[in-house]
A and B are shown apart, each in its own frame.
Chain A
Amino acid sequence: MAEVLTRSAPIDTAHRPRIALRFGILALVVVLAAVGVLTWNVPGEPGSRAFWIAVDLRVVSVATIALVACCQAVATVLFHTATANRILTPSIMGFDALYVVMQTALVFFFGSAALSATDGLLKVAVQSVLMVGFATLLYGWLFAGRRGNLHIMLLVGVVLGVGFGSLSTVMQRLLTPSDFDILSARLFGNLSNSDAEYLPWAALVVAAVLAVVWRSRHRLDVLALGRDTSLNLGLTYRREVIVMLVLVAVLISVSTTMVGPMTFFGFIVATLAYQLAGSAQHRVVLPFAALLGMAALLGGYFVLRHVFYAAGMLSIIIEFVGGVFFLVYLLRKGSL
């Protein structure tokens, strides 16, 4: 591990001022966008009671966006590292859709009581455990194949996503309307209308996951070298990969609970983060990805909400831009 660090260290130091500048600019964008969302066009005098009520309401939105952006960005980078490629992302591989299926199946088989009985931290925990268990089984099995071919994986993941989507719609159709109401209230949040009660729990979970990720940032660097090299360097490869997949599943389920599926967001953010970070080390890439995610989502939200008055469009625009971006990336890779 030490060898890896010293080898990549010179590149890192040469670029350090420029990287730091980029980091600073991104942080500035995040802060500006956050302040913008909070205070732009607030009715009432700054400092008055009405002003603070409005700001209070908006704080929930800002916190949700920041949290979701962090989740998506970090989950995508982790997934890239764990699966040793930079095309697959958890969302494209159908993690979000899997989460929706699991939630729907929970209500479908056990009734809506199952959802309300598992409220608060317990709810998060139970759902995450289920989700993680299933995701690890499924994707662990998918990636375990020695003959694993990237394109097969990707296609399987995309089709899995479609299949899970259809499966959950079928089950939702079969629910009684009251069960469906409860389910959809739990399932499909959106950016401007998020659940303030759930937020602290989500923040807690995400903070814990991020702490674990940050602690293992150096191990992640080794993991990125691939299976054989990391085994050689003394890493228990399989265990590390499974731990990372577990963390990814937790992050994605938190993000999906709060704002629903976002297929291409993680892909855009992670790909740009690799370019901007100027280093493959996770201690650089991870903060960059998180900041970039927040900057993009907060900035997009601010522009759409206060310039174009079309806050609901954000996810559609992400889908469009992300799809084009992914297509171009795939084509450039495919033709090489």
Chain B
Amino acid sequence: MTSALLRPRARLALPMAVTGVAALVVLSLFVGAYDLGVDDFGAEMFFISRVPRTLALVLAGCAMAVSGLIMQLLTQNRFVEPSTTGTSEWAALGLLVTVLVAPAAPLPVRMVVASVAAFVGTMVFIGILQRISLRSSLVVPLIGIMLGVVVSAFTTYLAVSTNSLQMLGTWFMGSFTSIVRGRYEVLWVVALVVLLVFLYADRITVAGLGRDIATSVGLDHTRVLLIGTGLVAVATGVTTVVVGFLPFLGLVVPNLVSMWRGDNARANLPWVCLGGVAIVVVCDVVGRIVRMPFEVPVSMILGVVGSAVFITLLLRMRAHG
């Protein structure tokens, strides 16, 4: 990183990236099936739909990308993120259970339960990892994905037996289509999480060196692990309840950033945030314009783009041995 700072151009990189992402965000404000300039209703529509939607994109993109980074540090594995560890699926299970047990529960209650479920699920995953000694780092995401499959099979079973399968499909399809004023505000919780991550970044980086090293430099590893997992669980739980799954986002962004800038977590954090926002905004805008006036949910486009990048990363790894 020091070498990056010495170069004068590198100092300009971050402001330039911020400007670029801001331009994307502005673009997102003005793209959509409803023509804002056509009548007096345009301005009102702008604040009811476009602004909340764009804010939700920024918050969710940021949160999921940062969640991926934290999980990768804590598990010391590059291929880990909420959708490859079953965290999202646990959050979904928590949400479904709340709706089945207490259909009248307000949004905050659902979010809390989903976050708690995500936390439990992530701890189960980390517990499995610590219990067994893994020879290959690639087994970790595999186990996570399979865990996710099992959990979501159980969720589907629950949904089928209570006739709520259709509801499940619309809920978890990561999409910003239904985000309007009054539906997205809870996402600000996620902003708080990102802020906390910025404050905690150094400790999480040290924890990422492993339990022994972290302990010997005076860090309470277990505490940081719990706090980190808690932050990820809250971010995932809230995003899952409001938006749905955003697959591979937390995997693609931190990996691309650290391929380019190396592995300093705190220095990379702004870049990870910006990258997450940029990818989500681009995917959502593409989803909005590809077949106007209909929309393609952002999670599908993310699924295609994300898996392509993921596979490229894997094959690069194979090529380099």
Chain A interface (Cβ < 8 Å from any Cβ of B): 145, 147-149, 151-152, 154-156, 158-160, 162-163, 165-167, 169-170, 173-174, 263, 310, 312-313, 316-317, 319-320, 323-324, 326-327, 330-331, 334-335
Contact = CB atoms under 8 A, between A and B. Distances in A.
Contact of A156 (B128, B132, B296, B311): B311
A265 to B, nearest CB: 13
A170 B160 CA distance: 24
A323 B152 CA distance: 10
A319 B303 CA distance: 21
A111 to B, nearest CB: 16
Contacts of A169: 300, 303
Interface of B: 79, 128, 132-136, 138-139, 141-143, 145-147, 149-150, 153-154, 156-157, 160-161, 247, 290-291, 294, 296-297, 299-304, 306-308, 310-311, 314-315, 317-319, 321
A166 B321 CA distance: 29
A319 B138 contact: no
A155 B304 contact: no
Contacts of A323: 146, 149-150, 153
16 contacts: A148-B318, A151-B136, A152-B314, A156-B311, A159-B314, A163-B303, A163-B307, A166-B303, A173-B294, A310-B161, A316-B160, A319-B156, A320-B153, A334-B135, A334-B136, A335-B134
A162 B252 CA distance: 15
Given A173-B296, A335-B134, A158 B142 contact: yes
A312 B318 CA distance: 41
Nearest to B156: A316
A166 B304 contact: yes
B132 A174 contact: no
B151 to A, nearest CB: 9
Nearest to A263: B149
Chain A interface, DSSP helix/strand/loop, else mixed: helix
Contacts of B161: 310, 313
Given A263-B149, A326-B146, A155 B138 contact: yes
Contacts of B303: 162-163, 165-167, 169
Contacts of A324: 150
A158 B145 CA distance: 9
Contacts of A147: 318-319, 321
A156 B160 contact: no
B147 to A, nearest CB: 7
A163 B311 contact: yes
A162 B160 contact: no
A155 B304 CA distance: 15
B158 to A, nearest CB: 10
B139 A160 contact: no
A100 to B, nearest CB: 14
Contacts of B139: 151, 330, 334
Given A160-B311, A174-B290, A320-B154, 9 more contacts: A151-B136, A159-B311, A173-B300, A174-B296, A316-B160, A323-B146, A330-B146, A331-B132, A334-B143
Given A151-B138, A313-B160, A319 B132 contact: no
Nearest to B145: A158
A271 B145 CA distance: 20
Contacts of B157: 313, 316-317, 320
Given A163-B307, A313-B157, A323-B153, A174 B291 contact: yes
Contacts of A317: 157
B318 A163 contact: no
Closest 3 CB pairs of A and B: A166-B303, A163-B307, A151-B138
A327 B124 CA distance: 13
A261 to B, nearest CB: 12
Contacts of A165: 303
Contacts of B304: 163, 166-167, 170
B143 A331 contact: yes
A313 B319 CA distance: 42
A326 B143 CA distance: 9
A335 B143 contact: no
Given A154-B142, A323-B149, A160 B296 contact: no
A75 to B, nearest CB: 20
A162 B135 CA distance: 25
A71 B105 CA distance: 47
